[in-house]
Structure formats: C-alpha cells, structure tokens
Amino acid sequence: MISLLYNEWIMIPLVAFCVFLIIYLNADKIINRLQEKFTAKKDEVSRYLDLMFVEVDQKKIMIILLLLSFGLGTVFFLLLLPNVWLGLFAGTAITVAGLNLPPLLVKALYDKRSAKFVDQMVDGLTIMANGIKSGLTVPQAMERVVDNLGPPISQEFSLVLSQMRLGRSLEESLIELGDRIPMQDVQMFVTGINILKETGGNLAETFETIVLTIRERQKIEKKIQAMTAQGIMQGIIVTLVPFALIVLFSVVDPNYMKPMFGTTLGLFLLFMMLALQIIGGLVIRKIVKIKV
C-alpha cells in the first residue's frame, strides 16, 4: 500500500481524478464563487485606477488577473511535477497571491498618490492664500495652483474647476474631492472652505493655519519613521530568515529537505510556517505603524 502511494504513475492520475470529481460535483458553486471573487477584485482595481485618472479596459484587467492567478498557478504546478502535493500547494498559493496582490499594489499606488497630494497642499495652499490676499476668488486661486504645480494636485483641482464650469457648485465639487482623497488634511481643507463661504471669514488665514498643521504633522511622522525604522528592519529580517534557510539547505543538501516537500507532515509544517509568518508580519506591522 505504501509503495503504491509513492508510485507517481498511480498517484498523479488518482489525484487528477479526485480533483476532477470534486470540481464536477460542485461546478456551479465553484464557478459562481470564482466569478464573484474576480468581479470584486476587478471592480476594486478599476475604482482605484479611476481615482488616479488611469483609463484601462475592464477586459484587460480581468485578463491580467486571470494570468497572474490561474496562469502562474498552473505554471508552478507543472514545473513542480511529478511532486503532486508540492505542486498543488505551490500552485494554490500562487493562485491566491496572484488574485489578491494586484488590488493591494494598486491601492498602495493610490495611497502614495494621496500622500503626495497632501505634501503638495503645503505649496498649493500657500499659493491660494497669497492669491486670496491679492483679491482673487477661490476658483481663480485654484487655477494658479494648476498652472504652477504638477500632478496630482493639478489634476484634482482641474477636475474641480471643470465640474464648476459644467454648473456644479464649489461646495459639491470640493466634497467630491474629499471623497476621492479621503485624507484628514484634505477634509480639513474642504470643510474650511465650505464653512467660511457660508459664514464668512478670512480664507487666507485659514489656509495658512492648514499649512502649519500639515507641516507640524509631517515633522511628527518623520520622527516616528526614524524611531520605528529599526523595528521594521527587524521584522523584515525575521520574516525572511526561514525562507533563506530553506533555500540554503535545499542547495547544500537536497535530500535533507525532501521530507519537508515530499511528505504530508512536511507540507503541513510548511503550511503552518507560512501561516505563522504571515501572522507575525501583520502583528509587527501593526506595532510599528503609528498613525498621526
């Protein structure tokens, strides 16, 4: 019996038949679930790309997600044959990662763009404050920002001005700006303009106050980054050490690592290691990530 389990000519067709039978019996549920999952990820990627003024065809996004998930998963599974169990494990892991990483990467780009917008607000609000002091209106002051600064603040302010030319009020356009970039400093800017337009007040002084607040917050953030840099580096090293040891032992003595990839217990321990690595990385990230 044991010899049959290690016979690849028996195990590969047997595993393939079991997988086919499971998929066949649950085909409708699996297809609907996968369709919902891919549609949700596609919509998430599309939403972030739209917020960054990047136009991409919906079909291309779906094709890229399919290639990065099932495409890469199938490639890794075939490369690791005849080790079926390791191939299934690696193929499944690559498929899941390929489906979930693109939205995370696009969101990271979106967060980076939002942070750059806040950094540009220091110069942008200074220009607007000087324009208000010289007698310009808020839209005219925003046009000066568009002419003097680059993306993303020029893109966002241009969209606000375009909406106003089409008949939207300044308040509505600014509220949509706050929805597109949900940062605390942007909300403070939007709220300040909308309130002062109704109650009256010194807009230039308000802009200068917001600029001062942003600068002080940036100083605190840089100080926190310097203090947590060591913890971040320690977390990266601790996370990478097990993978480095696996590669090292596999090169030095491949037979020593065979039980890890060729037995059920080894694969279970490998799965537990990955799970604990992910949990540990999330805990370290939670500790060192301090919001101001």
DSSP string for 12-45: HHHHHHHHHHHHHHTHHHHHHHHHHHHHHHHHHH
The percent of residues above 90 in pLDDT, for the chain, comes to 2
Given a cut of 60, is residue 2 above it in pLDDT?
no
Looking at residue 15, its pLDDT comes to 64
User: Highest-confidence range of 1-15, 20-34, 52-66, 77-91, by mean pLDDT?
Assistant: 52-66
Distance CA 219, CA 59 (A): 44
Q: Dihedral sign, CA of 187, 193, 195, 201?
A: positive
Looking at residue 203, its pLDDT comes to 80
pLDDT tier at 292, thresholds 50, 70, 90: low
To the nearest 10°, the Cα dihedral for 161, 167, 172, 175? -30
Angular region, 248: left φ>0, alpha ψ -120 to 50, beta rest? alpha
Looking at residue 110, its pLDDT comes to 92
Distance CA 167, CA 259 (A): 70
Element (H, E) at 260: helix 254-262
To the nearest 10°, the Cα dihedral for 266, 249, 244, 239? 30
Q: For residues 84 and 194, which has the higher predicted lDDT (pLDDT)?
A: 194
State pLDDT tens for residues 85-99. Answer: 667 777 787 888 888
State pLDDT tens for residues 41-72. Answer: 888 888 888 888 888 778 888 888 888 888 88
What DSSP line would sit under 48-104, residue for residue? HHHHTT----HHHHHHHHHIIIIIHHHHHHHHTTT-HHHHHHHHHHHHHHHHHHHHH
* CA–CA–CA angle 248, 254, 256 (5° rounding): 90
The percent of residues above 70 in pLDDT, for the chain, comes to 86
Q: For residues 65 and 17, which has the higher predicted lDDT (pLDDT)?
A: 65
State pLDDT tens for residues 226-273. Answer: 777 777 787 778 778 888 887 788 778 778 777 777 777 777 888 888
**Mean pLDDT computed over every residue of the chain:** 80
